């Protein structure tokens, strides 16, 4: 599919589902106009980019996440290292789609989607296993990440957006996924339909423990404590929380080892000499450890 065809596809998606949007400036409803812009009744207007994404973050600041980081993420995500995690996520989401009486599309928002690999993978797996229409949207505050996501072929509405005040109407999504990304629980509850599900994925206590052991001293903060703190906060907002752990090991070849170091915050403040020593080896077996938090939005 050509770049122009991508843009046309995305414009069609936005026109079909423009009722999910609200203006990021004044919160009024928005409509797709002339096949290339979203506008509200107060005439705030946002154009579709040539790559087929929409920038809905007024007065955006430069992102600390650059194109190189997102390209590293895409390489790692596309090389199968996250497949066991994505299989577990897909199985759980499939169970949420089992309402055959619904004639409405099943709606998913990936909040903090980065370069879009996880959402594209999830959507591909769901479309293979279900005949139900799926509306998928990916939002992130980083323009480089969304620009890279939009270069893919997945039929997704990609948005640069503020996730603390997102440009979507109340009660829009059946599922919100939040993968290794910060959360705003009050905003997520606003966006979920009653009975909708928030799925938050956080690093488990042994996630990339080999990096931690190699790059830092034993006095580094304990990851297990961070997992527990996140789970406690999640449960305050979603009292019926269910918890699931996915753990496995994989060998990273040297090019993939370098990409993993670029994409993980674990390496960003590590001593340079330790990083270079780690990269000197031909490969490294590392631990992938994730905790998936599932929370149903109970309409109080």
* φ, ψ (nearest 5 deg) of residue 160: -85, 120
Q: So what's the pLDDT on residue 104?
A: 83
The reported pTM is 0.94
* Cα–Cα dist 21/19, whole Å: 5
CA-based nearest residue to 66, from 151, 160, 145: 145
Q: Which residues touch 267 (CB under 8 Å, ≥6 apart)?
A: 211, 215, 261, 275
Q: Which residues touch 167 (CB under 8 Å, ≥6 apart)?
A: 21, 22, 23, 24, 30, 56, 139, 159, 161
Query: Quick check: helix, strand or coil at residue 3?
Result: helix
Q: So what's the pLDDT on residue 147?
A: 94
Q: So what's the pLDDT on residue 205?
A: 92
Per-residue pLDDT of the chain in tens (300 residues, 90 and over written 9): 677 777 788 889 999 999 999 999 999 999 999 888 999 999 999 999 988 999 999 877 766 677 889 999 999 999 999 999 999 999 999 998 876 556 789 999 999 999 999 999 999 999 998 888 999 999 999 999 999 999 998 999 999 999 999 999 999 999 999 999 999 999 999 999 999 999 999 999 999 999 888 887 654 557 778 889 999 999 999 999 999 999 999 999 989 999 999 898 888 888 888 888 888 888 999 999 999 999 999 865
Q: So what's the pLDDT on residue 282?
A: 87
* Cα–Cα dist 290/287, whole Å: 10
Query: Quick check: helix, strand or coil at residue 121?
Result: helix
Asked whether 157 and 13 are in contact (CB, 8 A), the reply is yes
Q: So what's the pLDDT on residue 99?
A: 65
Q: So what's the pLDDT on residue 217?
A: 64
Q: Does domain 3-296 have CATH number 3.40.50.150?
A: yes
Asked whether 138 and 119 are in contact (CB, 8 A), the reply is yes
């Amino acid at each position: 599919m050509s770049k122009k065809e991508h843009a046309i596809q995305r414009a069609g998606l936005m026109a079909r589902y423009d009722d999910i949007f609200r203006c990021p400036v004044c919160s009024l409803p928005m409509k797709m106009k002339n096949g290339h812009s979203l506008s509200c009744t107060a005439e705030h207007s946002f154009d579709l980019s040539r790559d087929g994404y929409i920038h809905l973050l007024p007065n955006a600041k430069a992102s600390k996440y650059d194109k190189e980081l997102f390209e590293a993420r895409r390489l790692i995500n596309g090389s199968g290292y996250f497949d066991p995690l994505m299989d577990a996520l897909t199985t759980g989401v499939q169970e949420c789609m089992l309402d055959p009486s619904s004639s409405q599309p099943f709606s998913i928002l990936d909040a903090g989607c980065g370069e879009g690999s996880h959402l594209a993978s999830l959507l591909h797996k769901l479309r293979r296993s279900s005949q139900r229409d799926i509306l998928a949207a990916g939002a992130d505050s980083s323009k480089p990440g969304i620009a890279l996501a939009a270069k893919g072929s997945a039929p997704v509405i990609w948005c640069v957006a503020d996730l603390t005040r997102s440009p979507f109407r109340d009660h829009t999504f059946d599922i919100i996924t939040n993968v290794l990304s910060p959360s705003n629980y009050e905003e997520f509850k606003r966006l979920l339909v009653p009975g909708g599900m928030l799925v938050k994925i956080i690093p488990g206590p042994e996630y990339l423990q080999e990096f931690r052991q190699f790059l830092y001293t034993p006095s580094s903060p304990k990851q297990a404590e961070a997992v527990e703190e996140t789970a406690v906060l999640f449960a305050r907002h979603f009292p019926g929380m269910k918890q699931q752990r996915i753990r496995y090991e994989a060998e990273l070849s040297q090019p993939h080892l370098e990409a993993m170091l670029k994409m993980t915050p674990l390496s960003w403040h590590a001593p340079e000499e330790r990083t270079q020593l780690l990269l000197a080896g031909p490969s490294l077996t590392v631990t992938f450890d994730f905790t998936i938090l599932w929370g149903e939005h109970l309409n109080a």
